[in-house]
Chains A and B, each alone.
Chain A
């Protein structure tokens, strides 16, 4: 199993640009989520999904959209990037909603 994969590993955007961060898992996990981690900070939940077609907001959802059309994929869309969205983004998945979550390697995003 590849586990949780994320692409790209690193991205530079200009303010106002849009982009999609990709996340995929091959463990048939129902639950998937996106976190962001700012320097010296813990992780904060952006959006999560409890299954295909179902998504919900986390702690810091503004400026981000998600969709879940398949069990495997959970992309995160930045509609109009802002410097405040400079961060490291982690995708995670788990089985049955348990809090034993598996994290991807992260995407480092720099917004200029």
Chain B
């Protein structure tokens, strides 16, 4: 599984777009990028995943660079409820069951 690097913490003003970066320079061709978040004291929540194309769903957008060495999760209009730890995970979907959660990025959305 590819190692991912994320900033420890970020701030974002409510209503603004939150752009959370992730570096995965050693990612291999069959490894997907998954994003989860964990709101304080709750279980992790799946957000989005992608292989090489940009993806969008009702929660967020995922932008993956053409060389796939990095990606950005975009929350288009952050709310206070988006304050959470965001985990970027790069794994082969067939490599076994475990998700390798690292330390993630602690996002604070401020009024």
State whether A42 and B104 are in contact (beta carbons under 8 Å apart), knowing that A33-B98, A99-B49, A103-B43 are contacts in the complex.
yes
Task: Check if A112 is an interface residue, CB within 8 A of chain B.
Answer: no
State whether A43 and B93 are in contact (beta carbons under 8 Å apart), knowing that A90-B44, A99-B49, A103-B43 are contacts in the complex.
no
Assess the A101–B99 pair: CB atoms within 8 A.
yes
Distance between B105 CB and nearest chain A CB, rounded to angstroms: 12
Distance between A70 CB and nearest chain B CB, rounded to angstroms: 19
Q: A58: nearest residue on chain B (CB-CB)? A: B98
List chain A residues, Cβ under 8 A from B104.
42
Distance between A62 CB and nearest chain B CB, rounded to angstroms: 16
- Within 8 Å by CB of A99, from B41, B43, B91, lies B91
Distance between A39 CB and nearest chain B CB, rounded to angstroms: 12
Instruction: How many A-B residue pairs have C-beta atoms within 8 angstroms? Tell me.
Output: 53
List chain B residues, Cβ under 8 A from A59.
98
Task: Check if A110 is an interface residue, CB within 8 A of chain B.
Answer: no
Q: Mark B23-62, 1 if CB is under 8 A from A, else 0.
A: 0000000001010000001111110010000000000000
Q: Mark A33-73, 1 if CB is under 8 A from B, else 0.
A: 10000000111010010100000001100000000000000
Q: B92: nearest residue on chain A (CB-CB)? A: A99
Assess the A99–B101 pair: CB atoms within 8 A.
no
A sample of 23 inter-chain contacts (CB < 8 A) reads A41-B103, A42-B101, A43-B44, A43-B99, A45-B97, A45-B98, A45-B99, A50-B97, A58-B97, A97-B94, A98-B93, A99-B34, A99-B89, A99-B91, A99-B93, A100-B34, A100-B46, A100-B49, A101-B99, A102-B46, A105-B42, A106-B41, A106-B42
Given contacts A97-B94, A99-B93, A100-B34, 9 further A-B contacts (CB under 8 A): A4-B43, A42-B100, A43-B44, A43-B99, A48-B98, A99-B91, A99-B99, A100-B49, A106-B42
B residues whose Cβ falls under 8 Å from a Cβ of A: 32, 34, 41-46, 49, 87, 89, 91, 93-94, 97-104
A residues whose Cβ falls under 8 Å from a Cβ of B: 4, 31, 33, 41-43, 45, 48, 50, 58-59, 90, 92, 97-106
